[in-house]
Structure 1
Amino acid sequence: MIENIISALFFLAGISLSLYSVFMRYVMGGSQSWATEIFTMMLVWAIFIGFSTALRDDKHVSIDILYDRVGPGMKKVCELVTLIFGIAFSLFFIWTGIDMVSTAYAQEIRTIDAGFPIWINYLIMPIAGVLLFIRFVEKAYRFFLKKEIPTEKEAGSEWQL
Structure 2
Amino acid sequence: MKILDWIESAFSAVFFLAGIAISLYSVFMRYIMESSQSWATEIYTMLLVWAIFIGFSTALREDKHIAIDVLYDRFGPTMKRVSQVIILLIGIAFSIFIIWTGMDMVTTAYAQGIKTIDVGFPIWINYLIMPIAGTLLFIRFCEKAYRFFVMKEEVVSGGDAEWKQL
Flag whether TM exceeds 0.5 (same fold).
Answer: yes
Aligned equivalents of 2:37, 2:31: Cα separation in 1: 11
Pairing partner for 2:144 from 119, 128, 139: 139
Q: Which residue of 2 aligns with 1:104?
A: 109
Query: How many correspondences in the alignment?
Result: 150
Aligned equivalents of 1:47, 1:74: Cα separation in 2: 32
- Structure 1: gaps spanning 5 or more residues: 152-161
Deviations 1:108-157 (A, max 9, x none): 001111111100000000000000000000000111021469x9xxxxxx
Aligned equivalents of 2:45, 2:132: Cα separation in 1: 17
Pairing partner for 1:9 from 5, 14, 17: 14
Q: Which residue of 2 aligns with 1:42?
A: 47
Pairing partner for 1:58 from 40, 58, 63: 63
Aligned alpha-carbon RMSD (Å): 1.3
Aligned equivalents of 2:30, 2:59: Cα separation in 1: 35
Higher strand share: 2
Aligned equivalents of 2:122, 2:39: Cα separation in 1: 13
Percent sequence identity is 74
SS of the residue 1:28 aligns to? coil
Runs of 4+ in 1 over 3 A off after TM superposition: none
- Structure 2: gaps spanning 5 or more residues: 1-5, 161-166
What TM-score do the two structures reach when normalised by structure 2? 0.88
What TM-score do the two structures reach when normalised by structure 1? 0.91
Counterpart contact for 2:102–2:131, Cα < 8 Å: yes
Aligned equivalents of 1:26, 1:136: Cα separation in 2: 45
